Amino acid sequence: MRTRQSQELNAGTTAAELRFALLCDAALHNERREIERQILRLEALRDKQQAVYRQARRERETFESLRNRQLAEYHRSRARREQRQLDDLFLLRQAYLRHG
């Protein structure tokens, strides 16, 4: 951009045109700084949201693990209860057949 401005000056560019080009350059620089600030702000927000997501995921995995353990314990307990019932029925049948 500076090279182009130097070439334009050598080619007979007016002071008004140079002033306008400098104003445009300053506006572009200010816009770039603002965009960079926005990028930093949005990156910080993204990092915060990623931390929230990771925490929520850890909590979900913890609850899922707990639920799975409780479900497995329920199945084991139910299987033991059913087996006791079957054993009781078998013993009752054996007693009935012996005394029958």
In the DSSP assignment, the letter for residue 12 is T
A 10 A CB-CB count for 59 gives 10
> What are the boundaries of each domain within the chain?
2-99
Q: Is 15 exposed, middle or buried (0-12, 13-18, 19+ CB in 10 A)?
A: exposed
**Which pLDDT value is given to residue 30?**
97
Separation of alpha carbons 95 and 88, rounded Å: 10
pTM, entire model: 0.57
For residues 5 and 21, the answer to whether their CB atoms sit within 8 Å is yes
Looking at the predicted structure, is the pLDDT value of residue 38 above 90? yes
Residue 48 CA neighbour count, 13 Å, CB half? 6
**Which pLDDT value is given to residue 88?**
96
Mean pLDDT rounded to a whole number for the chain? 92
